[in-house]
Amino acid sequence: MHALPTHDALRQILPSVIFELADRFVRAGHELSLVGGPVRDLYLGRVSPDLDFTTSARPEETLKIVSGWADNTWDVGREFGTIAFKKGEYTLEVTTYRADAYDKDSRKPVVAFGDNLHDDLFRRDFTMNAIALRLPELELVDPFDGVSSLTDQQIRTPGSPDISFSDDPLRMMRAARFASQLKIEVSPEVRQAMSEMTDRIEIISAERVRDELVKLINGADPRAGIDLLVDTGLADRVLPEVSALRLEIDEHHRHKDVYQHSLTVLEQAMELETDAEGAVPGPDFILRFAALMHDVGKPATRKFEPSGAVSFRHHDMVGSKLVKARMRALRFDKDTTKAVARLVELHMRFYGYGDAGWTDSAVRRYVTDAGSLLERLHRLTRSDVTTRNRRKAERLAFAYDDLEARIAAIAEQEELDSIRPDLGGEQIMAILGIRPGPVVGRAYKFMLNLRLDEGVLGEEIASERLRQWWAQQPESQPSVTE
């Protein structure tokens, strides 16, 4: 942890827009403080892109103060005391002093505006976020030893954690998220409260849980966050498929620990993310979540064979369905859900390539089925190798190197990423003399499979093969145009 910069250094480090805003509030007779994440991040040696403030001014007064100064404002959070606005390149949020609490069966906070900074800091989630810089004098206000929490690398709450989590149960998810993002641990008291209050998360909307989960997965140490959710039992409520991966190890240890394997795959997938200019810029939630969830079908498909082996037949297909159901329950958008589920479905496709070898047709199908997810599938498949057997790991890596080389070679020849049949729909209808309808779709699918299986045939040969196929169809009869 870094020391807080000196007053003069802070003046140089912090954006001037902060002090411009502070002057306007002071002239209007109101208090204003920089609060939470931006102050915490100064101790972590960085300047936060988020500029969050707390004030004695009510929302309508804040709007008056920034009117004519801010480039534009929006008050969608006005009900909760928050006014957001743009000034140049910066987005700022100013929130009235407040204290939130949740009714027992409510999903929404009951907002009570406060009148002092101390009480506002007390109602915040964690002590490391209950730190403020009073403006414009840059006086540090830390009544709950948030700086000590950062020094000790522990997440604590300003008051009793059970009261804090009862007031806002989402804070339990936020604790796991910060464990991932900041690579710090939760205090024993916070961990115990999380374990005892998991049922309270049920009152929180799926969308809010989802948003915290995404931030956790995209953090620097998602293993720490997932472990915390699982160990406290919170995952049983929000991500039960991951908890279920802790398969009971049989006395003969005939299969690996699927839960720990999945976390290792997640970490290995993270290592294969690229920079912003690469194929899979990190953090990539789709790749990371697919890595975590790729084996969630195993508990339902585990079978002890007569030979003593353990099998998980079709766990890829079962897992894909489970992933879709869970992501829909968490209100993920359709595209993200489809992408993660597809990667889970395809993650076993590669196995056997090194032993049996694939035809060019099989390689084409692999690429076509992966579509835009191919680069992620490459990384997921490579990450799925966690064996301690060095020879096996090297053999699988060599086989996948070979597959990628073949994909590149075929792509160079055939522009594989945009495979189309030799004949389009209009040509099919003209050759067969048929009108638009389901039959055209079947014929097009036949031509696409022919293209995948045999490569480019050319229009003449493709037309002949189409006629041969048509002659074998029940619809084959004198054409409607004759």
Nearest-CA neighbor of 439 among 464, 470, 461, 467? Answer: 470
Written as six digits, the tokens of 95 are: 């929130």
pLDDT tens, residue order, the chain (482 aa)? 788 888 899 999 999 999 999 999 999 999 999 999 999 999 998 888 889 999 999 999 999 999 999 999 998 788 889 999 999 999 999 999 987 655 666 656 667 888 899 999 999 999 999 999 999 999 999 999 999 999 999 999 999 999 999 989 999 999 999 999 999 999 999 999 999 999 999 999 999 999 999 999 999 999 999 999 999 999 999 999 999 998 755 444 445 589 999 999 999 999 999 999 999 999 999 999 999 999 999 998 888 888 878 888 899 999 999 999 999 999 999 999 999 999 999 999 998 776 667 888 889 889 989 999 999 999 999 999 988 888 888 888 888 999 999 998 888 776 655 678 899 999 999 999 999 989 999 999 999 899 888 888 999 999 999 999 999 988 765 544 44
Residues 292 and 326 in one domain: yes
- Regarding whether 408 and 259 lie in a shared domain, the answer is yes
Q: Which of 102, 117, 152 is the last residue of a domain?
A: 152
Query: Which residue is listed with tokens 């049949």?
Result: 421
CA atoms within 13 A of residue 415's CA, in its CB half-sphere: 5
Helix 188-196 vs helix 170-182: crossing angle, to nearest 10: 140
Shared domain for 132 and 261, answered yes or no, is no
Q: d(Cα 171, Cα 302) in Å, to the nearest integer? A: 35
- Asked if residue 228 is part of any domain, the answer here is no
**Domain shared by 355 and 457, yes or no:** no
Would you give the end-to-end CA distance of the chain in angstroms?
A: 83
| Helix, strand, coil distribution of the chain in percent, nearest 5 | 55, 10, 35
| Structure tokens that stand for 353 in this block | 């390539």
The answer to whether 209 and 238 are in contact (CB under 8 A) is yes
The pTM (predicted TM-score) of the whole model is 0.82
Residues 257 and 363 grouped into a single domain: yes
Q: Which residues are CB-neighbours of 433 under 8 A, at least 6 positions away?
A: 479, 480, 481, 482
Structure token digits, residue 122: 């007390």
Q: Is residue 161 part of a domain?
A: no
**Judging by beta carbons within 10 Å of its beta carbon (0-12, 13-18, 19+), is residue 255 exposed, middle or buried?**
middle
- Asked if residue 112 and residue 8 are part of one domain, the reply reads yes
Q: Which of 100, 118, 152 is the last residue of a domain?
A: 152
Q: Strands of 17-89 (E only): list them.
A: 32-35, 51-55, 72-74, 82-87
Question: Number of structural domains, the chain?
Answer: 3
Enclosing domain of residue 436: 425-476
